[in-house]
Structure 1
Amino acid sequence: MAAIFPTPTLLPLGDSALLVRFGTTLTDVANRAAIVLAAMLDNAPIPGVVEIMPNLVSVLLRYDPLLASPSVIQGELRLRLFGLAGAGREPRRWTIPVVFDGPDLAETAEALCMSTEAFITAHNAAPLRVLATGFAPGFVYCGLHNGLILPRRTVVRPSVPAGSVLFAAGQTAITATEMPTGWHVIGRTAFSNFDPAGHPPTLIGSGDLIAFEIAR
């Protein structure tokens, strides 16, 4: 069955960019639509578009105004949006072993009124879809957790190591570089999603499915 996606809003940004927004809050269907559109534009580029930047619920197109006018870009985009429901690719599947020993693990479980063991079981219960990548090299956002909703920390940690497994706002994230974070640190993994010498430098992409498991 073809997916039913929300009707997007097209928002011109200056004279050389256009934002295609499928929602104003993060929902599963808006995120899926943004992922599928970004993949479609990569496979069938619009002449004049020089950069495609997907976000959680939107896709930004940056174009060269000397090569294409805003009306041409919007016309080409609308043609592609008609075929959006039938587009997409089969998701790649990944299994990520995690050592659940993060400094915020017990506090996270307690905030959700769960034991640590129950939280880990619920966290790993089903594969999570990669909502987006970016923010930092190899950084991966996964979600959405069913019922496991917790705000970010009020205090930012100045640095967490690469391979940190983070949790907040119904999502799990994986760091691939050392970085600051306001997310709850619940564990670590030896898996790395960033190799600057690799082609491509990252492995996991938006729309992929990740199954988390306890590292043995």
Structure 2
Amino acid sequence: MTHSAPLTTAPYTTGGRGPLARAAALGMAVLTGCCLLTACGSGSGSARTDAAVGDAASLITLAAGTATASPSDKAATDAGVQLRLDSSPEEVTRARMGYATCLKAHRAPSTIKTTGVATSADEAAQKAAEKACAGKRPLLPPEMDPRTNPHYADAVRVQVKCMKDHGFKVHITPAQGSDPNAIGWIYDRLPGPGVDIQKVQDDCRARGFGGGAAVGPAPE
């Protein structure tokens, strides 16, 4: 499972998944109530999840990023709901649930269609729902986005070292695109049974980025 920067991507790129697949993954995390570790390595951004290795890990991150923001959320703007490094798990869950609820209310195919191949009509409907719900989309803290944090790569390196210190088999992956700051990381293999993967990932993310333990990246 590769994790690169860009929640909506603040770090972690989904890599080739369309809006339907991204939203479906997001809704899945919300429904299961977990979000293991989507953007495993980076502090923010979208997560690229390998089906065989990453589903469990990435669910943690996803759950944190979908939900409807309540009127009291000061960070809610037309661009989305801005999460912070010190956002609580409750705030993150509320934000992600708000977004997921909005998508369902607008009948986004990702929330109502569970089988079959996405059609062009589905993709168009998904994009329309995402546009209508843009103001509720959770946004990763700017510190967890390589586009807004010039020290993002340094933070990822600290995060990865922390995970290695806990015995995790991971390595850094090169930046994709033209930004050398937007590095990511990937598992060589998942830890064995009895290891609290989510806690280690959350703790190491907080160590690297100075916070954000509750804010795992969600799919782009």
TM bucket normalised to smaller = under 0.3
Which is higher, the Rg of structure 1 or of structure 2? 1
TM-score, normalised relative to structure 2 = 0.25
Larger strand share, 1 or 2: 1
TM-score, normalised relative to structure 1 = 0.26
